Structure 1
Amino acid sequence: MGYTATTDPTVPSVLADYTLVLARATNVGEPATPRVKVIIAIDDGGVQRLPYAPDEWRDDVVIGPVVFAHPADPAVLTSGAAPTFKPESMEPYSGTGPATYYFGPVDRLTHRPADPLLEPRVLVKPDLIGVDYVRTTFFESYYSGSPVLPDGYYFPGTSAAAPGVAAVAALAMQYSPQSTAQQVRDALVSTAVPMPTQPVDYGVSDANVWGSGRVFAPAAIAALPAAPAPAPVPAGGGGMRLADTGLSAGGDLGGITLVALLLLAGGAVVSFSRARRATARGTRS
């Protein structure tokens, strides 16, 4: 790994093998060996291979993946990233799984600490891959002279890939408004294009590097039933209008409402929920 011991920009980082030492201080009444998690991003200047061989680490030290927090939530669709100009290759900063849950949910009413699970729950993450380096008019970085990109502004990162996946979900919702959130999610995941073997050994299964593959809009949309044909109904003034589609008699959206795009630690997430027409909201961070 490369390491820079100063913030002075004139001092270059030094690429070498380093020994990481954690000094753990305990207070009275605390366990002698409190749980510690160190997250190291796998990127161009970081760790390209984590040692998993026996006897290389203490028994109470676990070397694991970098997908955590919101992207690790089983309720969300977690997206990794591949560049638009080379979509068969993973971005080096795309987070890897699996994600492990050790505790149940916090009680929202009492805020009582969560109880530990009887058995840890291990989830494959990410769920699929979106593409980044999308063209913008102002954001994020200006690239010129690139052999693979025309001059212009581009937005790289998993935070660029997640909105692309969300856009495919939105198209699927528009095409099939009667489908449920789970049906749309299943369509996105089941029709994703498998990724080839990558040159980097991440030390985890392929599924925990790219999930089911790269999202493919035409196949995902085709996997869902089309919206019912609108029926002409009489309108005021003697004219005709098309009936509203996609809403039940109670006003529920038959599809899903996109409510959040979140980015944490190299894994972007797309979150879905059902909503009523009068209260549907969308947020992005």
Structure 2
Amino acid sequence: MTAVASTPTPTQQHWTPDTAAVHEALVAGARPRPQGPLAASATFGWRTLLRIKHVPEQLFDVTAFPVMMTLIFTFLFGGALAGSVDAYIQFFLPGILVQSILMITMYTGVALNTDIEKGVFDRIRSLPVWRPSALVGALLGDVLRFTLASAVIISLGLLLGFRPDGGPLGVLGAVGLLLVFAFALGWIWTFLALRLQTPNAVMGWSMLVITPLTFGSNIFVDPSTMPGWLQAFVDVNPVSHLVTAVRGLMHGEAMAGDVGMVLLWSALLVAVLGPLTMRRYGNRS
């Protein structure tokens, strides 16, 4: 057998980067200014809205769901409780508006938890922006979705015979107050999203919280017909204060105390859950 001569391998050449040229390329031109808190929050809010473009099914909870809720409860309870749909819709529409908006606020937490599952959460936290902007922006983006849902419900109510005595200003004031409370309530679902492991868990716990708050209120009937123990819960329920204020604004009978209670509850929710959420947001690994 003949031996095969081995071919000598050429000596590898090591490339040494020109550090001066690299530095010159990096510092060339003006460095872009980092976004401020407002601009960063608006950017993340726009990201929330872009989800609708890529997942149009998300419009279901702000269009079809409120329509179904309004039609089902109006025609189910209208004749039995008020004698007619026309009479009941005057009392009921502000309440179902509140319930529909508050029910869909929980999707804020579900969306955030989905981002955590997919790893988007970690990428966002690594960005050089104001730390709370990702959470605040998501909540602000959802406020626009809630505005769309409010417009759908009010338009349907007008078709069914709802006539707000407070006029357009009263309706706008009622929707504005509802959006403030919905933004504050969203911090509960955001906190749950950072604590729980899966979107289904967030949805389950959110339903446990929102169901007694909405159904144990003055949305559907006058609390005077309820048992005493239930009236006691309804009287301290923040959703009851919200419904009373929204109903009063729409019918031109709003009391400053009712509006003030809603604003106080909103401030308390943000003041308590905001720092807790941000602490969990910063410590989550």
TM-score, normalised by the number of residues in structure 1: 0.26
Larger relative contact order (C-alpha < 8 A, sep ≥ 6)?
2
TM-score, normalised by the number of residues in structure 2: 0.26
